[in-house]
A and B are shown apart, each in its own frame.
Chain A
Amino acid sequence: MLPVAVAAMTEQLAQVGNASSLHRTGRAARRVVEESRERIATAIGARPSEILFTSGGTESDNLAVKGTYWARRDADPARTRLVVSAVEHHAVLDCVEFLVRHDGAKVTWVEPTSEGFVEPEALRRAIEEDPGSVALASVMWANNEVGTVQDIRSLAEVAHEHGVPFHTDAVQAVGHIPVDFAASGADLLSVTAHKLGGPIGVGALVARRDVRLVPLSHGGGQERQLRSGTLDTPAIRGFAEALVQATETLEPEARRLTALRDDLLERAIGLGLGIRPGGFWAAGDASRRLPGNAHLLIEGCDGDSLLYLLDAAGVSCSTGSACQAGVPQPSHVLLAMGLTESDARGALRLTLGHPSTPSDVDAVIDALPGAVERARRARRATS
């Protein structure tokens, strides 16, 4: 967490006050919430009234997908189809699967290119299968695994050609690359604080005023009647502080991380170990791949072996996802990009951020050859 966010939040934790109350402390809390809302809105090119505070990205995605589905279907029973990219985060995927299983929804998955791009033409084809049946289109701004950044403006335009509301999960993008809600054309955008240096447990759904949503939670009617529940004033303040700082330092930080990322990828590929980058990558480019995302595909290895070996060497990284018991699963993102299950198992995601330095990259490059060799032996031992 960014120190400014910790400081602001700590100070706020000592203040009592419910932002929904009318008395003095309530008013003070409300002022903090509304100022934070304004600062967040300014930072992402939205109007304050478009910011709905939530508990984070997952809740924002749930509200966007389910809320829009229910509202659109209520207005027109024919609108039951969700057009969604196959590389979404589980927070979107599992909402879709829930609606399909329990609420009569249909889904059309939009497959990405081998580099992870969701092409506007692919979205158009999916919608035009039956434009009148579409309730919502959803494509994430930047992918959490391979870092691919989508052309959101073109995708939103395609959706709007058919009057379809467009949602984007921008959890990985906000604070890392320029995100302008109004300019993007998106109707709904999910964001979370902890991915940009803020506290865990707070986020927002940015929603245009003309988007119809059915709320998931009911009660006090906070947040435009769309998200009942007492607002977490300290967390919201920490969120705003972090986003303001991340936005101010975005450009130089993105340049710095892009250079580190490029160095890491170039040197990893140069080791001659059969390592290649996952997803689109062009040196110097931060508009189509997140600056801090280095994703490696390492043949003949299991990601969890690499993770252990690199962890032992002081390098923290992550593989794809795991099931609830912890068994590593080949990433649905990589499978959608056309990788084989075996290749998808050898994926390693290294994320560079504020504390990352060139010596961290050196450490990774030093540790990789030994780790790869051992991980390959480990896979052979168990096949």
Chain B
Amino acid sequence: MSGGVDSAVAAARMLDAGHEVVGVHLALSQSAATLRESARGCCTIEDAGDARRVADVLGIPFYVWDMAERFRRDVVEDFTAEYARGRTPNPCLRCNEKIKFAALLDKAIALGFDAVATGHYAQVVEVPVARGGVRRELHRAVDSAKDQSYVLGVLDAEQLARAFFPLGDTTKPQIREEAAERGFFVARKPDSHDICFIPDGDTRAWLGRALGEAPGDIVDTDGAVLGRHAGAFGYTVGQRKGLGLSRPAPDGEPRYVVEVRTDTNQVVVGTADLLGVDAITGDHARWCGPAPAGVVRVGAQVRAHGAEVPATAWADGDRVEVRLDERIRGVAPGQSVVLYEGTRVVGSATIASGRLDRD
């Protein structure tokens, strides 16, 4: 329970469904040291308090679990290391894979719980299989504006078997209404948008502090120097804003980051047409059910709130090849490509590279 409206209603719905429910708030603060040294120095006081307040209204026990160390190791360090390699990671996927449905779930199971329910907007559909069993499938939420199945595309069948997403069949406005009806004062609490460990939203400044400044050149595709940067790691393929180039392009076209070269500490900029990609190679494949056998037709999504593009995909062990039916822009290495079959999430892979195979 983050302290927000979604997990509050999720807890209430699990309780209504007849489960025994205990609320858990994760303390993920980066200031783990201050958190231990001073009894008064944590950063999530208000959110933890909001979550506790909801748990009290529901009459359920509530605990704060300190996962700061695991979070630092598995999410924050991975985030920093990925950027240092010139890639653009999505820490929410990593957190779901390694913390919420791994460390948290493992601890919960050890303590005798059966499953973890969260306020993510996604649906688990139980499909009957042979001999009376069921297979649990992950599907998009009915509220397509709020759908969060993308960040859950890393869950494997074992994790899904112990996951509940009670909000997937409802729209966000309805959840807010329900929260108000249930008397939760968090009903009107604004959504959080930023990366939780970068509360001011300034990722580049955060990376500058984490990795140190590394000034270098911004160049065009011919290698001509157009400007300077404070660290190539702070740039993302497809980025247009914040390049600080004084000289406009000769043709007047806007310029985008088309490549981040951490080996030479160069940021390469070019015109939009250089960003087009119709083939993606991914690694770190994660399947939300059985791995696809052979070539499959899928929908591919490369950003949390991006559009789904029809594609053909095949898996080769940990690697996934995706051939897109149409050209898309802004495919940044390190992000995840999540594959769908209808509304069902097939699985995901971390984007290693994108390229243009066809003209």
Q: Which residues of A contact B137 (CB under 8 A)?
A: none
**Chain A residue with Cβ nearest B62:** A326
| A366 contacts chain B at the CB level, 8 A cutoff | no
Q: Among B38, B63, B70, which residue has its beta carbon within 8 angstroms of that of A382?
A: B70
Docked CA distance A322–B64 (Å): 9
Min Cβ gap A283→B in Å is 33
| B65 contacts chain A at the CB level, 8 A cutoff | yes
Docked CA distance A318–B65 (Å): 16
* Interface secondary structure of A, over-half rule: helix
Docked CA distance A326–B110 (Å): 21
Q: Which residues of A contact B112 (CB under 8 A)?
A: 309, 312, 374
Given contacts A309-B112, A323-B40, A326-B63, contact A382 B48 (CB under 8 A): no
Q: Which residues of B contact A (CB under 8 A)?
A: 22, 25, 27, 29, 35-36, 38-45, 47-49, 52, 61-67, 70, 103, 106-107, 109-112
Docked CA distance A332–B49 (Å): 24
Docked CA distance A312–B20 (Å): 11
* Interface secondary structure of B, over-half rule: mixed
Min Cβ gap B65→A in Å is 7
Q: Which residues of B contact A258 (CB under 8 A)?
A: none
Q: Which residues of A contact B45 (CB under 8 A)?
A: 323-325
Contact B111 A323 (CB under 8 A): no
The 7 closest A-B CB pairs, nearest first, are A326-B64, A381-B106, A377-B110, A378-B110, A325-B42, A325-B48, A327-B27
Q: List 26 A-B contacts (CB under 8 A).
A: A304-B63, A305-B111, A308-B22, A309-B112, A321-B39, A323-B39, A323-B42, A324-B40, A324-B42, A325-B29, A325-B43, A325-B48, A325-B49, A326-B25, A326-B27, A326-B63, A326-B64, A327-B27, A327-B64, A332-B39, A341-B36, A374-B111, A377-B111, A378-B110, A381-B109, A382-B65
Docked CA distance A382–B22 (Å): 18
**Which A residues, 310 to 354, have Cβ-Cβ distances below 8 Å to chain B?**
311-312, 321-330, 332, 341
Docked CA distance A381–B101 (Å): 12
Docked CA distance A123–B245 (Å): 68
**Chain B residue with Cβ nearest A326:** B64
Q: Among A304, A324, A381, which residue has its beta carbon within 8 angstroms of that of B103?
A: A381
Docked CA distance A305–B64 (Å): 11
Docked CA distance A377–B113 (Å): 13
Min Cβ gap B79→A in Å is 20
Contact A374 B66 (CB under 8 A): no
Min Cβ gap A289→B in Å is 25
Binary contact readout A351-383 vs B (1 if CB under 8 angstroms, 0 otherwise) = 000000000000000000000001101101110
Contact B36 A325 (CB under 8 A): no
Q: Which residues of B contact A90 (CB under 8 A)?
A: 39
Interface centre among A322, A326, A377, A381 (most CB of B within 10 A): A326
**Chain A residue with Cβ nearest B3:** A325
Min Cβ gap A93→B in Å is 9
Docked CA distance A92–B244 (Å): 55
Q: Among B22, B25, B44, B107, which residue has its beta carbon within 8 angstroms of that of A378?
A: B107
Min Cβ gap B94→A in Å is 17
Min Cβ gap B197→A in Å is 15
Q: Which residues of B contact A328 (CB under 8 A)?
A: 64, 66
Q: Which residues of B contact A325 (CB under 8 A)?
A: 25, 27, 29, 42-45, 47-49, 64
Interface centre among A308, A321, A374, A380 (most CB of B within 10 A): A308
Q: Which residues of B contact A341 (CB under 8 A)?
A: 36
Q: Among A324, A327, A378, which residue has its beta carbon within 8 angstroms of that of B111?
A: A378
Known contacts A308-B61, A326-B52; 5 further A-B pairs (Cβ under 8 A) = A325-B27, A325-B48, A341-B36, A380-B110, A382-B106
Docked CA distance A355–B103 (Å): 39
**Chain B residue with Cβ nearest A90:** B39
Contact B107 A382 (CB under 8 A): yes
Docked CA distance A375–B106 (Å): 12
Min Cβ gap A127→B in Å is 27
**Chain B residue with Cβ nearest A306:** B111
Docked CA distance A378–B39 (Å): 24
Min Cβ gap B252→A in Å is 52
Docked CA distance A380–B27 (Å): 18
Q: Among B25, B64, B110, which residue has its beta carbon within 8 angstroms of that of A374?
A: B110
Contact A382 B103 (CB under 8 A): yes
Contact A311 B61 (CB under 8 A): yes
Contact B27 A308 (CB under 8 A): no
Docked CA distance A382–B110 (Å): 10
Given contacts A308-B111, A374-B110, A381-B106, contact A327 B61 (CB under 8 A): no
Interface centre among A323, A325, A380 (most CB of B within 10 A): A325
**Chain B residue with Cβ nearest A376:** B110
Docked CA distance A375–B112 (Å): 10
Binary contact readout A277-312 vs B (1 if CB under 8 angstroms, 0 otherwise) = 000000000000000000000000000110011011
Q: Which residues of B contact A322 (CB under 8 A)?
A: 64
